[in-house]
Structure 1
Amino acid sequence: MAETTTKETNLRQANAKATAVGVVSEKDLKIVTEDGKNKVTGHITVKTSDVNFVKYNVNVNEKTKAGTDNKTYAGIQTVMNEYKSIAEVGEEEATKVRVTGDISPFTDKQSGEKKVAYKSNFFNRLKSDEDYEPHAEFAVEVFISGINPELDADGVETGRIVVSGWMPTYNGIEPIDLVAEGEVGQAVDSGFEVGQTVEFYGDIINNRIETVTEIPVKIGKPRRKVKVDYKSDLIITGASEPYEEGITPEVPYVADTIQAAIQERANRLEEAKAKAQSGAKASTAKPSGAAHGRSLGF
């Protein structure tokens, strides 16, 4: 049997943290049972300013893989039963929280746009005597694949710089875009190159966009259909030195390994597409990966 080489197994999962301090805006959690096992699923939205809302997805099993009680499950039950949202009691009485979570980049299947989701199972109530400084911040390791000017819908440069990259995750590898503005944008443009591994950090700007559509009816008032979307930007405010093997504590990602993981991702997506078209189920096996301007060919 021929030996198979899988470079993807060398990819470590990237650090990708999303922290927030704010007030609980919405809370939608419920206990569900799957295959005889209970878990809490849903989301909590944290308001950090009048226009900034960060939605954290929640998914906590009652039992660990070993069958013992999951301590995190008890904590989430406390969140369900005791934490109050603005939607429930108004902003003055809503629970102020500190959240430690993760960034999950993904590609929207319909639009093809690169997006990010946030997830966390760890919510801590702020005590009444704690300083309350609302904010939402990120820190993420990225293999840089492109540094280019941002263009608007008409193809005109906005003045911002887009850092495109690849982020190895628990489920494989995903593309992610970060944005730099002003002097930081100039520093990023001149200070980094494609192919480098860098930890960027900055602010999560996640605006809640509510679209209301009126549906005509024959009798009575028109019905209102409300659609809520979140427009997310990860705004760079700082960055580490580029990782260098033997120099920085963190080891950089290798371009060949990243490219192999990208190809594995493409193969997996093609397989899923083909099976969806044929009506068969896609494989559930996890992958092994964890104009001006410059861009790599992958």
Structure 2
Amino acid sequence: MENKELRQLQNNVQVIGTLKSKDLEVKTSKKGNKYMSGNLVVLSKFDNHVQEIKISVFMMESSKLFKGIETVKNEYKTIEDNGADAADRIEVNGELTLNEYYNAQGNLVQFNQVKGIFFNRLDETNDRPDKAIATIDTVVQGFEPVIKNDLPTGEYKVKGFTVGWGNEVIELKNTIVGAELAEAFMDLYPVGSTGQLNFKINNYAVVDEVKESNQVSHGFGSTEKAEARQVTNYVNNIEVIGGEIPYFGDKAYTEEEIETALQIRKLKLQELSQPAEDTPPSGFGSNGNDLPPRSLPTGMEPPQDDNPFSDAPNTDDMPDF
């Protein structure tokens, strides 16, 4: 295929919350260049849920932004290390990326993750609400109804992509639109449309109270009991929450550009190599079937740890440059 430079599309992510943990390390590339890599986990409380947002980090020492992430590593306080009262509230701005690889079983694992670029510590007087949102120029490829218990839920899976620097085609994985917006969204965005969409990043456990049967007590003393709760589900997706009118004219991706992007994706998948040994898959947006099970309440399936908040193989680790 003839090399053709695709137009880069807008791709912005903003996360505000309390820093739960940080795992950052300065490393050296094969050619002797230093860089920082690792991840942060931010607790972001909104929509009556505690969201765990994982932020992947990769920054060359030569970058003008390196001092910022170096300050995070050396100075920022976390819930795990310093306690909830002392932990820093932070704002992270970055972009949505796509991580993908073949595991040892030969299965293709794909998930989106949040890549952090700018990091700011918020002071105690800052009352901006917690959030985990993205504004992304998206080429919409199609919709698929969500079915549960053989019935449509009204939600739809959304298939689409955006384009980053250097012809990087970033597919949106595990993306949905809720029942209340689905009809309006699909009417406004026919297949092949390009437009600016707003997303909410969801990653939380659903915890319900365990109902106990009423039994006559034959014990002694106080009958007051602690409420029993259990995790009943995990929600992990990118949710469309709004958008602008689709682009038209020169701003819209043409059929030719869309075809070029799809060809680039096809070639990228062909170039992916299978690793010699297994690595624990997790991240944002894979199907969850390739995940190693972890300790869960009886009867629970392994959660979809395919989010930017878990330890996925870092494709940027030990770069050649």
Task: Answer yes or no: same fold by TM over 0.5.
Answer: yes
Task: Report the 3-state secondary structure (helix = DSSP H, G, I; strand = E; otherwise coil) of the residue aligned with 2:39.
Answer: strand
Task: Report the 3-state secondary structure (helix = DSSP H, G, I; strand = E; otherwise coil) of the residue aligned with 2:112.
Answer: strand
> Which region of structure 1 is more displaced relative to structure 2, 79-88 or 170-179?
170-179
Q: How does 1:123-272 map to 2 (within 5 A)?
A: 123-152=119-148, 156-170=151-165, 172-177=168-173, 178-207=175-204, 232-245=236-249, 251-272=251-272
TM-score (norm 2): 0.68
Counterpart-to-counterpart distance in 1, 2:113 and 2:203: 10
**Counterpart in the other structure of 1:74:** 67
TM-score (norm 1): 0.73
Counterpart-to-counterpart distance in 2, 1:54 and 1:254: 34
Structure 1 residues 13 and 109: CA distance shift in structure 2, 3 A: farther
User: Structure 1: which amino acid aligns with 2:43?
Assistant: K
Root-mean-square deviation over aligned CA pairs: 2.6
Task: Report the 3-state secondary structure (helix = DSSP H, G, I; strand = E; otherwise coil) of the residue aligned with 2:120.
Answer: strand
CA displacement 1:26-52 (0-9 Å, x = unmatched): 100111122222111111111102530
Structure 1 residues 31 and 208: CA distance shift in structure 2, 3 A: farther
Tell me if structure 1 keeps the 8 A contact 2:159–2:172.
yes
Tell me if structure 2 keeps the 8 A contact 1:114–1:175.
no
CA displacement 1:26-84 (0-9 Å, x = unmatched): 10011112222211111111110253011111111111xxxxxx331112111111101
User: Structure 1: which amino acid aligns with 2:199?
Assistant: G
Counterpart-to-counterpart distance in 2, 1:180 and 1:268: 28
Counterpart-to-counterpart distance in 1, 2:17 and 2:90: 6
Task: Report the 3-state secondary structure (helix = DSSP H, G, I; strand = E; otherwise coil) of the residue aligned with 2:249.
Answer: coil
User: What is the CA-CA distance between 1:169 and the residue it aligns to?
Assistant: 2.3
Task: Report the 3-state secondary structure (helix = DSSP H, G, I; strand = E; otherwise coil) of the residue aligned with 2:67.
Answer: helix
User: Structure 2: which amino acid aligns with 1:25?
Assistant: K
CA displacement 1:113-149 (0-9 Å, x = unmatched): 6521111131101012211411111111111110221
- Aligned residue pairs, count: 241
Unpaired segments of 5 or more residues in structure 2? 207-233, 277-321
**Counterpart in the other structure of 1:59:** 58
Counterpart-to-counterpart distance in 1, 2:68 and 2:99: 28
Equivalent position to 1:44, from 34, 40, 45: 40
Unpaired segments of 5 or more residues in structure 1? 64-69, 210-229, 278-298
**Counterpart in the other structure of 1:222:** none
Structure 1 residues 150 and 269: CA distance shift in structure 2, 3 A: same
Equivalent position to 2:28, from 30, 33, 38: 33
Counterpart-to-counterpart distance in 2, 1:191 and 1:181: 15
Counterpart-to-counterpart distance in 1, 2:269 and 2:150: 29
Structure 1 residues 174 and 133: CA distance shift in structure 2, 3 A: closer
Counterpart-to-counterpart distance in 2, 1:108 and 1:155: 32
Tell me if structure 2 keeps the 8 A contact 1:18–1:102.
yes
Tell me if structure 2 keeps the 8 A contact 1:20–1:135.
yes
**Counterpart in the other structure of 2:111:** 115
Equivalent position to 1:24, from 6, 15, 19: 19
Tell me if structure 2 keeps the 8 A contact 1:83–1:95.
yes
Structure 1 residues 48 and 79: CA distance shift in structure 2, 3 A: same
Counterpart-to-counterpart distance in 1, 2:159 and 2:89: 34
Q: Percent identical across equivalent pairs?
A: 26
Structure 1 residues 267 and 203: CA distance shift in structure 2, 3 A: closer
